[in-house]
Structure 1
Amino acid sequence: MREPVEVRRQRILAAVESRGSARVSDLAAELEVSVVTVRRDVEELAQEGRLRRGHGVVRSTLAARDIPAPRPPDGDTVAVVVPERHTYLYESLHGARSVLEASGKRIALHIAPQVAGAERPLAERALKDGAAGLLLAPRWRTLADEEADHAWLAALEVPAVLMERRPAAGSALHAMDSVCSDHVHGVHLAVEHLVCLGHRRIVFATRDDSPTARTLRSACARIAGAHPLVETWAWVLSAPEAGQEGPYAPEQTAGLHEVLRRTGATAAVLHGDVDALMLVQRLADHGVRVPEDCSVVAYDDVVAGLGTTPLTAVAPPKADVGRAAAELLLERLDSGAGGHAPVRRVELLPSLSVRGSTRPL
């Protein structure tokens, strides 16, 4: 489906603001549109005063000399920055909203386009508009994206809490408040459920393009590799576009049905819900029935229960993550500049919803 013009222009604007400047040809390649289309968008944005045009180059209007001094925080507004097209984090947003609105805070919602570094200009704009605190869920498709955000996040001068993002130990963000799901425990729930049903050979199909996806992949390898009853396990990408840069071995990019037959696996853990539903459809196309031939556990539980065969799923406490993050942020705001409470890293345990896609071997 063709991307709406305004969404594409917002992505261009976010990309240029995050870098200061960008070549038109590079933007066209990133957005997978023609150079002519980008030139037309840039011209419109320039006429609106939101960008500066050069010869083949676009520059941000937010150069340091052009940015007015931020307004003092008004105490009533909290900015929430989440990625576009991310239903999982939207549930966390609704959880945070219930807490913030009950406390009398106004929410300023900022949707970050799917462009590396898109969150920074949105956060800076929110602070310029007087936001007293921030709730952030950066997309961070790659580790490089995450590390590129360390410096400005660590330098924030207002209380900020990361949602569903766990700062790496020893990093610049190690001393930043965060609330997230314990995804290692989520994988443990999935594996134990399948093992208790008699399954001994399991395939894991996960994404590899977010901090959650990378945590899941690592947890799958560690838990399955150490489990005394798991005889064989394998890992594949859950969708062709779900990986970060770099080549993958043939078995990591092979079709799920091929890996199931090669390994003799009778069960699979699939991340996330939409990918899981599509993979189940593809299995049916290749004569693999769920759950008769393969038991399936999905990970996320946003729409897993809506399939023709409702999927057993690990359900991270998405809304509770948002509520806990908002409560932590409110505590920081209430304590004021003189507060010296220790940094908190909160982890909430997922649960397992058993449905029709799993059964005893």
Structure 2
Amino acid sequence: MSEEKLFGVQRRERLMGELRRHGAIRVREFAGLLGVSELTVRRDIAALAAQNLLTKVHGGATLPTDLGPATQIRRRGTGPPRFTIGMVVPSLDYYWPAIVSGARSAAAAQDVQVQLRGSTYDWAEDQRQITRLIESQQVQGLLLAPNLDGDDVGEMIQWIGDLPVPVVLVERHPPRWTPTKRQLEWVRSDHALGLEIAVRHLHEHGHRSIGLVLSKGSPTSMHLERGWELVCAELGISPDLIIRESIRMVEPGYRETIAQLLERCRAAGTTALVVHSDPDAMSIAQYCTERGITIPDDLAIVAYDDEVARLAEPAMTAIRPPKPMVGRTAVELMVARLIEGNRRPAQRILVTPELIIRDSSIPLRVR
């Protein structure tokens, strides 16, 4: 085998490794990672798709899903799925599609069907969708992401624990002790660690006064705030500059909120922000551009979510929760539970986010 062909094989092995780890890749980012052209990566994707090892999508590739040609070819002429799992998520647009994609990839690999239901961040709607799946008598397990905010969390957990099929919570963390007949299993991103990764990245590049912006009402905020307190204590950073307001451009009065935030940054000598989520970080960046504040020289920003952070100007450094892996792990956890039954110990799994460095946290001359 020639060196050129050998390098191609190694490159494709690396590509498949990234897919298994994340559930999806983007052509532009993978080409930058390997230092090859985007055309080379597209050719690799086309070759692997021809072998039914991945599914081509616009701008990248995913592991095979129930909607992809690889799954259709694999299942042609086979019998019914081994298990059917119901999945209820609070949104079918922002954040959750990557988790659903990861779940479907794992399900396809294990001959499992996923019945997806969209809900809202409302417990009554969660109950309605869960009840519909149970009453269909077609599902042997449930992957759920219910709203666990409010004073009636105990009642909600009790109701979930009494369901007649096993449950794995996805991106949700119930109280440590739950008075149910079986301890609930869950898998979620380790958001507290993700926040720590962001702060330590900024600290390593000389920032000693850092602020945190949390999305108001997000289930993730609780974990981010916990990570903020821990890392600030360890690094000797003041945790005082923290705001809990959504400041994306669709929010009324967002410009006034950003102006107040930047005034606090100026008064405190703050040179960097961690912002949840991407639209909020992009709002701040756009406002800074209007005011002649240069990013990252005057103010460094790290976004938390990495859904659309790459589209900002400048492109946003971001913490990327391992969304496809969370979905995959949830399905694998459920399948193991269905196979092994009650003799299998309950598991609670945290998956580590990763830092994607772009232009908003390190000046190009430094990079």
Q: TM-score, length-normalised on structure 1?
A: 0.70
Aligned to 2:260: 255
SS of residue matched to 2:164: coil
For residues 138 and 271 of structure 1, do their structure 2 counterparts lie closer, same or farther at Cα, with a shift above 3 Å needed? same
List runs of 5+ in structure 1 lacking aligned partners: 1-73, 242-250
List runs of 5+ in structure 2 lacking aligned partners: 1-80, 249-255
Aligned to 2:91: 84
How far apart in 2 are the matches of 1:92 and 1:168? 23
Q: Residues 215 and 276 of structure 2 are in contact (CA less than 8 Å); yes or no, is this contact kept in structure 1?
A: yes
Question: Could you tell me how far 1:104 is from its partner in structure 2?
Answer: 2.2
How far apart in 1 are the matches of 2:239 and 2:122? 38
Give matches, 1:7-156, under 5 Å: 76-130=83-137, 131-140=139-148, 142-144=149-151, 146-156=153-163
Aligned to 1:354: 357
For residues 256 and 108 of structure 1, do their structure 2 counterparts lie closer, same or farther at Cα, with a shift above 3 Å needed? same
For residues 92 and 172 of structure 1, do their structure 2 counterparts lie closer, same or farther at Cα, with a shift above 3 Å needed? farther
> Which AA in structure 2 matches 1:266?
T
Question: Could you tell me how far 1:129 is from its partner in structure 2?
Answer: 0.6
- 2:289 corresponds to 1:284: yes
> Which AA in structure 2 matches 1:346?
I
- 2:278 corresponds to 1:270: no
Give matches, 1:219-238, under 5 Å: 219-228=227-236, 230=237, 233-238=240-245
How far apart in 2 are the matches of 1:292 and 1:238? 25
How far apart in 1 are the matches of 2:333 and 2:238? 43
Aligned to 2:312: 307
Deviations, residues 224-256 of structure 1 (Å, cap 9, x unaligned): 13323x256410124159xxxxxxxxx999732
Q: Residues 214 and 275 of structure 2 are in contact (CA less than 8 Å); yes or no, is this contact kept in structure 1?
A: yes
Deviations, residues 58-89 of structure 1 (Å, cap 9, x unaligned): xxxxxxxxxxxxxxxx9632111001255212
> Which AA in structure 2 matches 1:122?
Q
How far apart in 2 are the matches of 1:115 and 1:79? 18
How far apart in 2 are the matches of 1:268 and 1:145? 34
For residues 252 and 223 of structure 1, do their structure 2 counterparts lie closer, same or farther at Cα, with a shift above 3 Å needed? farther
Q: Residues 117 and 145 of structure 1 are in contact (CA less than 8 Å); yes or no, is this contact kept in structure 2?
A: no
How far apart in 1 are the matches of 2:318 and 2:198? 8
For residues 278 and 145 of structure 1, do their structure 2 counterparts lie closer, same or farther at Cα, with a shift above 3 Å needed? farther
> Which AA in structure 2 matches 1:157?
P
- 2:190 corresponds to 1:182: yes
> Which AA in structure 2 matches 1:182?
D
- 2:232 corresponds to 1:218: no
SS of residue matched to 1:180: strand
How far apart in 1 are the matches of 2:208 and 2:107? 46
Deviations, residues 99-133 of structure 1 (Å, cap 9, x unaligned): 11222222211100343431111111101112111
Deviations, residues 163-218 of structure 1 (Å, cap 9, x unaligned): 11122212347811101111121111111111110000011001242331111122
- 2:325 corresponds to 1:320: yes
Deviations, residues 14-44 of structure 1 (Å, cap 9, x unaligned): xxxxxxxxxxxxxxxxxxxxxxxxxxxxxxx
Question: Could you tell me how far 1:310 is from its partner in structure 2?
Answer: 0.7
Q: TM-score, length-normalised on structure 2?
A: 0.69
* Greater displacement, 254-263 / 184-193: 254-263
